[in-house]
Homo-oligomer: A and B are copies of this chain.
Amino acid sequence: MDRVEFRTCPERYRHWRLKVDGAVATLVMDVDEGGGLVPGYELKLNSYDLGVDIELYDAVQRLRFEHPEVRAVVLTGGKDKIFCAGANIRMLAASPHPWKVNFCKFTNETRNGMEDASAHSGQVYLAALNGTASGGGYELALACEHIMLVDDRSSVVSLPELPLLGVLPGTGGLTRVVDKRGVRRDLADVFATRPEGVGAAKAAAWGLVDEAVPRPRWEQTVAERAAELAESVTRADEGTHGIELTPLAKERTDTRITYRHVSALLDADQGTAEITVAGPEAPPNTASGPLFDADFWTLAVTRELDDLILDLRTNEPELGIWVLRTRGEAAHVLAHDALLLEHSDGWAAREIVLYLKRTLKRLDVTSRSIITLIEPGSCFAGSLFELVLAADRSFQLAGASEDFPDAEPAAVALGPMNSGPLPMGNGLTRLAARFHRDPAAFAAAEQAAGTALDAADAERLGLVTFAPDDIDWAEEVRLALEERAGFSPDALTGLEANHRFAGPETLETKIFGRLSAWQNWIFTRPNAAGPDGALRRFGTGRRADFDRKRV
């Protein structure tokens, strides 16, 4: 199949309509049956595939940046009787394992992003279920702050994946039902094993939705609730202009992806993507006040990284190692960081930092080994030092190097961006997670903030893994990459998923760790995905043939 492209814009949406009316936006899901991303299935009953979710992600992002006036987003359906039937089953049944896993990861991230908007951005999501929401349709609602279900004796919420398909809800459903909404575990068990679902009154009583609303009062009540939510938060001053997310310039071949600040060299033989991030060319221009537009370096580079991560994850599954480099001036990076934090009570700077936070979180749950190479001429400082902290291991070249004749020895620097604004999904900063059982080392690292740290300093402080000198550098890095490329890709995924999340767990890490790991296991089992499994037998009129052994 063709490469999947994640860049889109409202003018090109086939499945969603975005309407903005003052402080309230309405996002209408109205899936084009014939608009599947891959041939072979029809998107009936407002079911979705990756293409539908790519549009949703774009809409969520544009609402945050282009619509500072919007404080409540009503998510509703454009069909009769059905809000959304969830992920398309024929698409799932026909998809190879890596596709299913990657699809679920992306949809999870989008839903987490909606929760992030409600929690941190003053843009609160309201699910207005004007018909049945089943499976992923109900999970989409679960990502909203408030769920309303029309009470009409036919509309239900349901999670029919287990009884009908032999798999789990793939987008955080089980976790959000018991952990976020606090539905009692035995009722959750009943709910997730009842394919016919639960109607409005009982759904409200069990805590599956917040409100059951009779059909005659539906539109008025939704409007009232949206207005209330919009009133409950603050966002930008009236009349504030949004930041237009102008089209992202990208060149893409089989071996290279190039944006303005970010580029990647794809090496199929080596199994690597060598990614280079360019720092800002100058300090931010504040002559006439800060200018947070789409060209502002932090926003531009974050958009590029975000697109690159999604592209590589989906289109280059055999590039198992991402090698990250930077080049530029650390001081310019830190100046951009400082300006953003100085203006963090304003919506625009806040949005940019929150977006960077979400993009870095994508790295944490990416099933690729991440190696940072800190060379002379690099600018791993502040926000860009998060790339080192997100890496599975890092190498900093000690001293001068013949390969970089004009550059000073490599240095790194911590800054305020490393101490709070960019937490991982587990709620800790990457620095705190790194030293979560070693408060002395954590304090020493924080004290070194603002100082340029050469390789010996950074190694001593535990901020980098290895600090080889010029003589050993090339050989040591080459061996590390070769060795890693020889390991089992699956085992590396499991290893990294465990090592990256030391410390506390949250709703988010439980979804990516516990829930997704079980789902991935089930996705490989013959009971679900085998020729006689439930996922493949669905709709054939034949029951699945299960191996009855409990594992």
Residue A101 at the chain B interface, CB threshold 8 Å: yes
- Whether the pair A320, B462 counts as a contact (CB closer than 8 A) is no
- Whether the pair A522, B490 counts as a contact (CB closer than 8 A) is yes
Residues of B contacting A190 in the complex (Cβ-Cβ under 8 angstroms): 393, 465
Residues of B contacting A499 in the complex (Cβ-Cβ under 8 angstroms): 174, 178, 185, 188-189, 192
- Whether the pair A492, B550 counts as a contact (CB closer than 8 A) is yes
User: Complex Cα distance A499/B186, Å?
Assistant: 8
* Total number of A residues with any Cβ neighbor in B under 8 Å: 89
- Whether the pair B489, A522 counts as a contact (CB closer than 8 A) is no
User: Complex Cα distance A547/B551, Å?
Assistant: 25
Residue A35 at the chain B interface, CB threshold 8 Å: no
Contacts A192-B495, A550-B317, A551-B97 given; indicate if A527 touches B462 (C-beta within 8 A).
Answer: no
- Whether the pair B484, A193 counts as a contact (CB closer than 8 A) is yes
| A486-499 vs B, Cβ < 8 Å mask (1 yes, 0 no) | 01111111111111
> Which residues in A have some Cβ–Cβ distance to B below 8 Å?
97-98, 101-102, 161-163, 166-168, 174-175, 178-179, 181-182, 184-190, 192-193, 271, 317-320, 367-368, 391-394, 433-438, 462, 464-465, 483-484, 487-505, 510, 513-515, 517-522, 524-525, 527-528, 533-534, 544, 546-551
- Please list 30 pairs of residues, one from A and one from B, whose beta carbons are closer than 8 Å in the complex, sorted by A's number: A98-B549, A161-B491, A163-B487, A167-B488, A168-B491, A168-B494, A174-B499, A182-B438, A184-B434, A186-B391, A189-B393, A189-B465, A189-B496, A189-B499, A192-B495, A317-B549, A320-B548, A367-B551, A488-B544, A489-B527, A489-B550, A490-B551, A498-B515, A504-B504, A504-B505, A505-B505, A505-B514, A513-B513, A513-B517, A517-B518
What 10 A-B pairs have minimum CB-CB distances, sorted nearest first? A182-B437, A166-B488, A517-B517, A494-B518, A505-B505, A513-B514, A178-B502, A521-B521, A317-B549, A186-B465
